[in-house]
A = this chain, B = another copy of it.
Amino acid sequence: MGRRVTLQTIADRVGVSRMTVSNAFSKPDQLSTGLRREILAAAHDLGYVGPDPAARALARGTTGAVGIVLTSSLRFAFTDLVATSFFGAIAERLAPTGLALTLLTSADSGDIIPARDVAIDGALIYSCDPTSAAVDYLTRRRLPLVYVDQEPLETVTTINVADRHGARAAARHLLDLGHRRIGLLMSGMHPPHGLIDPADVTIDGYAAKQRLLGWCDVLGEAGITPLVARQPGANPEEPRAAARLLLDRPDRPTAVLCFSDATAHGVLRAAVDLGIDVPRDLSVVGFDDNPLAAQLRPALTTVHQDVEAKGKAAATALTRAIADARAGVAHVPQHHVLPAELVVRDSTAPPPR
């Protein structure tokens, strides 16, 4: 059985040095056209496909792929419209650079840590526990990193959305309409679930925390104590159930601020179940302005974030960080904050009298 075909095989066949064959593939301007043609022909003849990516990665020190680390349930990452739009924007932005995108899960248990074992040139850390083993490895490996929707860290480039600002605007909007009994509907995998004290909210994720803080900034100032419910987020039916914790009660809120459009959708459906008219009897505010928000009925008042721009910014920041690293230049961490703006549609109105 013949050995595998490598550069050397071709070099021997053509009678040139291995380096020249390498150049024929990787640096065409380093050799004469004639010889190059001859080499490529011989390569084709021998069934050689091109330089082995793994060997090239070792020799060059670059792999041509960047990672994106996801902690939260994979099911969620691919079900959530906001997440998928974000991935799409990144992939699209990365395509012309030739970088592939590798999905790295960060299950914290076991010793399966792709982030440790897969070769990449840099990574995006997205909606991911920053203390996870995966992030730890990447950091210690000194790979170029960009944090997205994570607690800002001085030393790392971050991309964030003005969630707190947006949340404030949402809360203020309800106050301006005259609402005083206000419910908050949070999302999060870990207990406690159900009706809870705002102070007890175990926060999952930086964005969730910022949104809650934003609401409380405004409500607190107005002396309002909201009613808070919390639900595990992945399943579309769960928000609907959680919403009833807020709606099935005599002193039910006249308005609900939701962690996302998906949870808001659950509230709308629960309202239908209960015969509560939105916005006449109940105002609902979402978050994200995902593609469905405008199509819901009533169209959802929500806080818009530009996911497309977020993906673009993340991809650009990462490619820049990688370029800096390659050039040996010290990378100066940057901190982008993208706007989040209230979009008033048809799901909010003054409270019933």
Whether the pair B95, A88 counts as a contact (CB closer than 8 A) is no
Q: Mark A56-80, 1 if CB is under 8 A from B, else 0.
A: 1110010111010000001101110
Binds B, one of A16-24, A102-110, A319-327, A335-343: A102-110
Residues of chain B with a CB closer than 8 A to A84's CB: 78-79, 84
Q: Evaluate contact between B65 and A118: CB separation under 8 angstroms.
A: yes
CB contacts (< 8 Å) of A104 on chain B: these are 100
When all copies of this chain in the complex are counted, the total is 2
Residues from chain B with a CB closer than 8 A to the CB of A236 are 291
Contact pick for A58, options B54, B85, B102, B141, CB 8 Å: B54
| Cβ-defined contact, A75 with B99, below 8 A | no
Structural contact, B64 and A91, CB atoms closer than 8 A: no
* Stretch with Cβ within 8 A of B (4 or more), from A45-53, A144-152, A225-233, A245-253: A45-53
A198 at the interface (CB under 8 A from B): no
Query: Which residues of the other chain, B, contact A112 by a CB distance below 8 angstroms?
Result: 95-96, 98
- Whether A101 lies near B98 (C-beta < 8 A) is no
- With A78-B87, A101-B102 known, 12 other A-B pairs at CB within 8 A are A53-B116, A57-B58, A58-B58, A64-B117, A64-B118, A78-B84, A79-B88, A95-B112, A98-B114, A100-B114, A100-B118, A119-B119
Residues of A within 8 A of B (CB): 47, 49-50, 52-58, 61, 63-65, 67, 74-75, 77-79, 84-85, 87-88, 91-92, 95-96, 98-105, 107, 112, 114, 116-120, 137, 140-141, 236, 291
